[in-house]
Structure 1
Amino acid sequence: MSKKTRHEEHEEHADESWLLPYSDLMTLLVALFLVMYAMSATDAKKFEEMSQAFSNALNGGTGILDQRSATPTQSQLDQGKHDKMDNVVAENTGESDISKLRKQEQEDLEKLKKQFDQYIDKNGLSDLLSTKLNQSQLMITISDNALFASGQAEVKDESRQLAKSISSMLQQFPDYDVLVQGHTDNIPISNSSYSSNWDLSVDRALHFMKILLLNPNLNPVKFSPIGYGEYHPIAPNTTAAGRAKNRRVEVSILRKYQEATNTTTVVPPGK
């Protein structure tokens, strides 16, 4: 018996339409690698040309690649150099202006100190008043004997002229901030008016400041009273002479333009 040859059925040819998008995908991948290579290159001009050509191929010249790349163009580099030079010039100009202001301030405070010193010498007050100019302030120190009765904060009548004279000299430079600071020795106070040296020192600073501000040419906004009590001595409290030095009022005219290395606005009393 002859065997019938059985022919296996052949499958129909598969649809090969997928090859078209696959080839497009490969083309896009090749283009992507070319773009990535161009981005890693330092030639900004070639990258811009590649970006433009790729954008045109995809969608007629519009798309995200039309935006400027992270690699700066020559014009951007030139503009950056100009901006940096402008900033340097501006900084140098500003520093020069501040230096001029510091110099003028130094001249003003030296002039004011000279006037105070002349006033002290003329009136024989060297035992009661002194001046000191440092990197933070011009300080006028006044002994409590020149202003107050013992344990009191009211300025003595004969001392009010001293306060008025000081205010007249201060009015020449009205733009400076002024601190009026009260100090005492460490002997506890015992009277009906004050419960502590701190209270007394604050009240003394306030009373003296109020007399200064009787001068209408002074701006009260620029003035502040502070009381330190016994806590900022300039001499030992173990002797009568030391305690007398510690009982004082200080009028500080603060600098506005200090050196960059000087970060303290007010030098602690006695330092």
Structure 2
Amino acid sequence: MSKNKHPVIIVRKRKKHGHGHHGGSWKIAYADFMTAMMAFFLVMWLITSTTPQQRQSIAEYFQVPLKVALSQGNQSSLSESVIPGGGSDIVQKEGEVNRSTPRDNADIKRLKRARDRLTNMIQTDPRLNNFQSNLRMQLTENGLLIQIIDSQDRPMFKLGSKELEGYLKGIFEALVPVINQLPNRISLTGHTDSIPYVHGDTGYSNWELSADRANASRRALIAAGLGSNKFLRVIGTADSMVLDNEAPDSPINRRISILVLSQNKEKSLISDDSLIENITGHGNIEQIKNELKITPQTNEGVAALEN
């Protein structure tokens, strides 16, 4: 009996080797090198083109970016100092160094005493005692905020008018002696609800009403004995800053706000106008006109516009 012979198959596997510089591994190394060089030059550019405060903010962002985002600030400590502690102590690493001056501390204590005195007066003074629900006081970083709020059954002004009710004048008379004793100036703001006038914003609107009520309150405060030099600003905000967002037409949104300004806030408000002051105080007005491309209007130009 014959046996079937199968052919023998031999499989030889050859290993492929890289061909020197023709391989692809060098490309990865080169890419890493270029990335590192780009990062290096970026760091060098940031060092030469930014201030120390900006570099501190950038460093803190990469250290704790979530903390900066949650605090809605420009750095995690919310301090203008480049030192980690926020003050003159270079070894301070945690927390904020108390950089408030004795003058700032005295200002805060003075406002706190005024708040406490007014709180006691609300309980004892008949001019204020009957209006406890209409008076709100809060000590903020901007100063002592005193708000006189309308209610449905006891409005502070005649309906749709700038005419004060008699009891609002009584409230002002009670507040004036306390405010007069403070060296701080005040910011007076008028607020309205969202109920519009018939002609909307094209005619007399809540903007005019809030400003008129603020100025009427200013005159009433001066008549009650408040020094006219105590006012830093008098503004009307209409219904742009309501207390009750869910009911913008609520009487609670109609109010007069008296902010006894902290010294820091007063300086901040004054510095906001520094650009205008610099322009108006500029000696060479013709140069400013050229820069702004303002040309004086002649009589012929006026006639042409009228025609």
* TMscore range, shorter length: 0.5 to 0.7
Assess if the C-alpha contact under 8 Å between 1:201 and 1:228 holds in 2: yes
Q: CA deviation at 1:118?
A: 1.7
Specify the SS of the correspondent of 1:130. strand
Distance in 2, Cα, partners of 1:221 & 1:265: 14
Residue of structure 2 aligned with 1:172, choices 176, 181, 188: 181
Residue of structure 2 aligned with 1:228, choices 215, 234, 237: 237
Assess if the C-alpha contact under 8 Å between 1:185 and 1:230 holds in 2: yes
TM-score (norm 1): 0.54
Q: CA deviation at 1:119?
A: 2.1
Distance in 2, Cα, partners of 1:223 & 1:133: 19
* Larger-Rg structure: 1
Specify the SS of the correspondent of 2:122. helix
* Structure with higher RCO (Cα < 8 A, 6+ apart): 1
Distance in 2, Cα, partners of 1:159 & 1:209: 12
Which residue matches 1:204? 213
Taking every aligned residue pair, what percent have the same amino acid on both sides? Answer: 21
Residue-by-residue CA offset, 1:163-204 (whole Å, 9 max, x unaligned): 11111111111x21211100111110249xx71011110001
Residue-by-residue CA offset, 1:196-232 (whole Å, 9 max, x unaligned): 0111100011001111112456243534211000111
Assess if the C-alpha contact under 8 Å between 2:184 and 2:260 holds in 1: yes
Specify the SS of the correspondent of 1:226. strand
Distance in 1, Cα, partners of 2:219 & 2:240: 24
Distance in 1, Cα, partners of 2:118 & 2:197: 32
Residues 1-271 of structure 1 aligned to structure 2 (within 5 Å): 99-122=101-124, 123-144=129-150, 145-173=154-182, 175-190=183-198, 195-216=204-225, 218-220=227-229, 222-238=231-247, 243-257=250-264
Residue-by-residue CA offset, 1:3-32 (whole Å, 9 max, x unaligned): xxxxxxxxxxxxxxxxxxxxxxxxxxxxxx
Specify the SS of the correspondent of 1:225. strand
TM-score (norm 2): 0.48
Length, aligned pairs only? 164
CA RMSD of aligned residues (A): 3.0
Specify the SS of the correspondent of 2:132. coil
Assess if the C-alpha contact under 8 Å between 2:187 and 2:258 holds in 1: yes
Specify the SS of the correspondent of 1:257. helix
Q: Structure 1: where are the runs of 5+ without partners?
A: 1-87, 89-95, 267-271
Distance in 1, Cα, partners of 2:224 & 2:247: 39
Which residue matches 1:49? none
Q: CA deviation at 1:239?
A: 6.8
Distance in 2, Cα, partners of 1:103 & 1:170: 19
Distance in 2, Cα, partners of 1:150 & 1:216: 27
Q: What one-letter code is carried by the residue in structure 2 that aligns with 1:179?
A: S
